[in-house]
Amino acid sequence: MPRLLIAALFLAAMPALAQPSRIEVAAPPAAVTVHPDIATVTRRGSADIPAGESVLVLPNIPGAVLRESVTARAQAAAAVAIGSVELRQARFDRGAVDVRRAALEARLAEAEAAIAATDARLAAQAAQLRLVERLAGGFVAAQRQPAVSNEPAPRLAADPAAWRAAWEAVREGTEQAAEATRLLQADRRPIEQRRDAIRAEIAALGGPPPGTLEIAVALRAEAATRIEIEVSYQVRGARWVPVYELRLDSEAARVTLRQEAIVSQSTGEDWADVALTLSTARPTEASAPPRLAPWRIALFDPARLREQAPRDRPEAAMSRAAPAAAPAPPPREAEVVSAAIQATGFAVEYRIPGRAGIGADGSDRRVRIADLPAEASLSALVVPRRAARAFLTARFAHAAPAPTLPGAASLYLDGVFVGRAALPLLRPGEEAALGFGADDRIRVTAEPQARRRAQEGSLLTGRTTTESFETVTLLRSFHARPMEVVVEDQVPVSGDAELVVAMQADPAPTQRDVEDRPGIVAWRLTLAPGEERRIRFGFSVTAPRERQVQGLPGR
């Protein structure tokens, strides 16, 4: 017998290798952690698995899943080992779909027949109610019509027993028809919902949508058991941004920082009834700090370069006509902008209480994080050079146990919306200062004085020109309690030794070069209720007569 024939018969006699059981498990999203630019989704489900090898399949996985992020873990009463965890294209079995469609269509026909029968009974009750109404109307008409044309019409109270019997009959008939209608409508609603669900399931049987994946988890069990499976993966298309409300109670000198977040996602899967967590970590960015490459410099001789360059080349003539350009600096690694670095340095998670539902349509969902009250120090800032008004400022220490990300803040003063501001990154206990709009309880008057100009000197000592500027600022408080007021002004800063700037102030400023800003001066004072204060401030600029000064008012 030929060897090939013997081999074929031997293979035919061998039992077919057993394929692992494929078990689809319903595991909808149960928990979601949203990062600023990505989301981690956790699905949970349970299934009965046989002894030996099997494959648990989680269908309807969106196509935006990062393949390397899929992980799985499980719990079971028997010993179970997890093998491979595979993200793959969803299988589509046309025969199984046709069988499923036939079964669903049979169930749909039953539901529609039940709805039709209920509608027929509802129509019968409606006809009964109309009949009762007509009978009641006919009885009234008969009581009003005289039996003989020449006889007077009977009075309504002529036969009280007949009227009482008619009333009872109409009432009982109406109540019976109304109650039967209510019960039939209550029975119809679940049947209608079941019909709509079957229709939606039939519509979804055309095949897996483009890009739909499935997760296959290979298992080996020592004995048949029930397993609790948990699969996690990261998916793009989700984000959250912080938003804040700052509410200042001026009477209590207390500020409340309300932390909220706007969450949106278009990942391809709806998150219905999930445990939502917001994280400030950015897993898509580099976790290691940037490294510096060697920075090498060298000397070069432009004349030697010109000698080495061929004289007949156009670029050689250009090098002789123009100075050699400085060599380009060596490339360096890109640095992350400071705001992103600060946000990455603090991994904070906000677990939103309760359950949340966020659709995959990209719409914004606003969720509350926390309310953080803090004591505030109130003051008024006046900058008469820019505006003759006082602006209320609140300083407070950040009361959160963890840093908060930068974001837009809506400002409320005593319950009234006064504007918006950008809230910086705040660390626990860090002081923040925000303006809450104009403080109309402080009257500010800024009166510029006459501008003076004078010339001095001689040909031997040098002639100079001096210009003087002065402003008188009046402050008066109408607050019911002492109020701290800060007045800021400025003098020009000279960049030339021959250009001399002298300041005159009464009273003298309490601070100069405020916040390392050259030329900025400030007065910090406390105004009692009804108190008025005057600040006379000015400066003079002296320059050589033949030189013109740039940057002064009116020039």
DSSP structure string for 302-321: HHHHHHHS-TTSHHHHHHHH
pLDDT at 512: 93
Please say whether the beta carbons of 163 and 142 come within 8 A.
no
Please say whether the beta carbons of 107 and 198 come within 8 A.
yes
Please say whether the beta carbons of 540 and 492 come within 8 A.
no
Name the residue type at position 59. P
pLDDT at 262: 93
200-203 long-range contacts, CB within 8 A, separation 24+: 201/104, 202/101, 202/104, 202/105, 202/108
Residue with tokens 């539901």: 111
pLDDT at 342: 30
In 3D, which of 59, 77, 81 has the Cα closest to residue 228? 77
Structure token pair of residue 444: 């500010």
Q: Where are the domains of the chain?
A: 19-92+208-235, 95-206, 238-286+343-438, 442-544
> What are residue 415's phi and psi, to 5 degrees?
85, 0
Please say whether the beta carbons of 485 and 510 come within 8 A.
no
Better-predicted residue by pLDDT, 181 or 212: 181
The region of weakest confidence among 193-197, 349-353, 400-404, 518-522 is: 400-404
pLDDT at 96: 66
404-408 long-range contacts, CB within 8 A, separation 24+: 404/242, 404/244, 404/259, 405/242, 405/280, 405/343, 406/242, 406/339, 406/343, 407/241, 407/242, 407/243, 407/244, 408/243, 408/244
Residue with tokens 């920082």: 257
Residue with tokens 């309490």: 510
Better-predicted residue by pLDDT, 282 or 328: 282
For the sheet with 52-61, list strands across it.
Answer: 21-24, 52-61, 213-221, 80-89
**Looking at the predicted structure, is the pLDDT value of residue 383 above 70?**
yes
Cα angle 241, 349, 274 (rounded to 5 degrees) comes to: 80
Cα angle 76, 78, 83 (rounded to 5 degrees) comes to: 70
State the sign of the Cα–Cα–Cα–Cα dihedral 58, 61, 63, 67. Answer: negative
**Highest mean pLDDT of the ranges 389-398, 453-462, 495-504:** 389-398
- What ranges in 295-438 are assigned the alpha helix state H? 302-308, 314-321, 338-344
In this prediction, what percent of the chain has a pLDDT beyond 90? Answer: 37
pLDDT grade, residue 335 (50/70/90)? Answer: very low
7: three-class secondary structure by DSSP = helix
Name the residue type at position 534. R
CATH number of the domain at 19-92+208-235, please? 2.60.120
Structure token pair of residue 397: 């220490």
The mean pLDDT value for 214-233 works out to: 92
The β-bridge partners of 52 are 221
Name the residue type at position 145. Q
pLDDT in tens, 250-292: 888 999 999 999 999 999 899 999 999 999 887 766 566 777 7
pLDDT in tens, 194-210: 898 888 888 777 655 55
pTM (2 d.p.): 0.58
pLDDT at 378: 92
DSSP letter at 401? S
